[in-house]
Copies of this chain bind each other. A is one copy, B any other.
Amino acid sequence: MPNTDRFGPPWWHGKFRGCGYRLTIGREAILDVLSKSEGHLSAEDIYMKVHPRYPSVGLTSIYRTLDVLSHLGLVYKLDFGDGRARYELAEGPKGSHHHHHLVCTDCNRVIDYTDFIDDEVELLRQTEKGLGEKYKFKITNHVIQFYGLCERCGSRK
């Protein structure tokens, strides 16, 4: 049930309405699942979480909605090398919980980290400015990912 924790409509209604998008059951259900789940969900993961409560929402619409959400900047579409796209909310109601990723190239485990984020973000801000000017690019987003072997895969010989 697309909850509003009884303090007015979910925080995303505004962003949606402004862009001429209709607010459908499916879209709400998907945002609801994303905002209540930890981790990096694939389209099918989301489908499986939405389906029990809203069996009428099809996988096709999950894909379509994720596409809209990522174009709206509400959701990040990520690639961790396991052959399917994964999604996470760009920011929660309390503002952004910005983080970057550590990806194991062996088992595909992903760790969110926020350590060092401040220095990184500060540098990124400058870099974005410089690059934006030099290449006339309107930068809206960045991805930083470190790849390597996680504790388990690294020690396992």
What residues on B are CB-neighbors of A79 within 8 Å? 79
Give A residues with C-beta under 8 Å from B.
Answer: 77, 79, 81, 102, 104-105, 111, 113, 115-116, 119-120, 123, 126-128, 130-132, 134-151, 154
B140 touching A105, Cβ below 8 Å: yes
Q: Assembly of this chain: how many copies?
A: 2
Taken together as a complex, chains A and B put the C-alpha atoms of A146 and B129 apart, in Å, by 11
Interface residue from B126, B128, B138, B151 paired with A149 (Cβ < 8 Å): B138
Interface residue from B126, B139, B154 paired with A148 (Cβ < 8 Å): B139
What residues on B are CB-neighbors of A116 within 8 Å? 126-127, 130-131
Asked, given contacts A123-B120, A126-B116, whether A136 binds B154 with beta carbons under 8 Å apart, the answer is yes
B131 touching A115, Cβ below 8 Å: yes
What residues on B are CB-neighbors of A102 within 8 Å? 131, 135, 137, 139
